[in-house]
Structure 1
Amino acid sequence: MSKPVIRTSRLVLRAPNPEDLDRCAVLLGDYEVAKMLSRVPYPYDLELGRQHLARSVKRWENIADADELGFHIDHEGDLIGGVGFKKLQETPEIGYWLGRPYWGKGFMSEALDAAIGWMFENTGHERLACEAMTENQASIKVMEKAGFRPVGEVGCASVSRGETLPAIRSEMTRTDYLSSL
């Protein structure tokens, strides 16, 4: 399978590329964004970002064996965020982020719907999980709107904060997804 490009009414979801580094540094370098993510350091580290993007590009070369796959989200030609899947050899977990200037405009709900559709249409996975820090009510609302159902409380390690914070784990089945269409 070649690298997919998913188009919605306002967005393009595409595989990351090394040229995204500077824009990622700007958007993920905002503490208000980084503090709600598990794996993003603050301040943003350009070398770690470069390494992450290189791995993200390489994973798309063989998606059947990939442990993670990510999409970058473009709006009007500009990178505004990302959505990705980890633990692809188990029960996949979807994660997402959006640059602060783009919050509150419905972009993440639109991107998440497209990414979830891609996952269930292109893999044999029967279940998809998602976690959000309890304090991140906007992210929890996005999960709920997408059709995820809470299944429990977990701890979410935050690199930027150097601690584990309470989070809500939610799940969606293929049947849930198909019944929402």
Structure 2
Amino acid sequence: MGASRIENFREKLFPQGHCLTERLFIQPLQPADAFQLVVLTNDPLVAAGKSKLPQPFTLADAQDLIALPHQSKGCFASVHAGENGPFVGCVGAVVRGAADIEMGFWVGAPYHGKRYGAEAAEAMLGLLRDAFPDRRIVAECSRENGATWRLLQRLGFSPSGGSGASKRSQLLIFEAPAPVD
């Protein structure tokens, strides 16, 4: 395993091939998801909060995101409202150096305010903690993206005091809750 790669990332993250939550069906992105991913990610209300994704987000960008597992650099998944429901968002993670995994997520504008982002992010956080217990989980977010900033804090992320790799973003670090005796 290299510093910025984890072999079999997708298989470790999704040992069952997918994840079911109370309302969501989450499974690794497939080539057939590329067009919907482009439409979702290019929505101005979504793009404004995603500082790390290129804008405009092209079909080639979607294909690169889908190919991350083949390069052992991470895995992103489609988020559907139910097993046969609409594509509402995307959630996943990338390897960030030797010690960190960075989590990211976004939800389509028509689905804002329905807590799909919170449910998907919480599920991904659980998958990451189970699959990679020795890695630190981080996220990048701009304070201007208030809803995501508050959600990350509710999930247990705290500002590190450092800047993120993207313009105006800050690095947040997940701090696991202390075990209850």
Identify whether the pair has TM-score above 0.5, normalized to the shorter chain: yes
| Equivalent in the alignment of 2:152 | 143
Structure 2 unpaired stretches of 5+: 1-10
Report the CA distance shift for 1:135/1:177 in structure 2 as closer, same or farther (over 3 A): same
After TM superposition, the runs of 4+ consecutive aligned structure 1 residues lying more than 6 A away are none
Root-mean-square deviation over aligned CA pairs: 2.2
Paired residue for 2:5? none
**1:58 paired to 2:70:** yes
The DSSP-based 3-state class of the residue aligned with 1:151 is strand
Displacement of 1:5 after TM fit?
0.8
Q: Say whether 1:117 aligns with 2:134.
A: no
Which residue of structure 2 aligns with residue 70 of structure 1? 76
* CA–CA separation in structure 2 for the residues paired with 1:125 and 1:104: 33
Contact 1:21 1:49 in 2 (8 A): yes
| Comparing 78-87 and 137-146, the one that deviates more | 78-87
Q: TM-score, normalised by structure 2?
A: 0.80
Give yes or no for contact 1:91–1:129 (8 Å, CA) kept in 2.
yes
5+ residue gaps, structure 1: 60-65, 158-163
Offset of residue 124 of structure 1:
3.0
| Offset of residue 29 of structure 1 | 1.5
CA distance in 2, matches of 1:90, 1:172: 13
Change in CA separation of 1:57 and 1:153 when aligned onto 2, cut-off 3 Å:
closer
- The more displaced of 83-92 and 109-118 is 83-92
Give the whole-Å Cα distance in 2 for the aligned partners of 1:169 and 1:155. 5
The aligned runs of 1:24-173 (5 Å cut-off) are 24-53=37-66, 55-56=67-68, 58-59=70-71, 66-76=72-82, 77-87=85-95, 89-157=98-166, 164=167, 166-173=168-175
Q: How many residues align?
A: 164
CA distance in 2, matches of 1:101, 1:93: 26
Q: Partner residue of 1:6?
A: 19
**Deviation at 1:134?**
1.7
CA deviation digits over 1:69-117, x for unaligned, max 9?
2222111322111111112543111111111111111111111111111
Q: TM-score scaled by structure 1?
A: 0.80
Mapped to 1, the partners of 2:115 and 2:162 lie a distance apart of 26
